[in-house]
Structure 1
């Protein structure tokens, strides 16, 4: 994941601590998801197929351009379980 992704740039400009915390949690979920995919030898496209979601949406999550919902986090966790 790039250091200067959209979320990081926006946070730098806005500086809202509550939003910064939520964005950081979202990026943490993205990093953990990427790590698990790598450990299991899977690609983001494999995850998209498992969740029946457009691969572009997975890419947006993993690059910090779209937030994870609680529902999708549960679905991802269930996929990896």
Structure 2
């Protein structure tokens, strides 16, 4: 997963193998990750992610909900203060 910063919003770029369900690379501005209910699929943990899908040039496609591999969310989890 890569991250890009544009006009203040951080865009996560996910490879097709790092999220479910869709085809091709996904660009998403993440608004939330549901850390409370991981899904285990094929021996890996996945988390529900909500956000806004955007194009490579920053145009908004619309709301998006998907599942993302836990291994691709490293560092994204909020740490307690």
Q: TM-score, normalised by structure 1?
A: 0.23
Q: Hey, which of these two has a bigger chunk of helix by percent?
A: 1
Q: Hey, which of these two has a bigger chunk of strand by percent?
A: 2
Choose between structure 1 and 2 for higher RCO, CA contacts under 8 A separated by at least 6 residues: 1
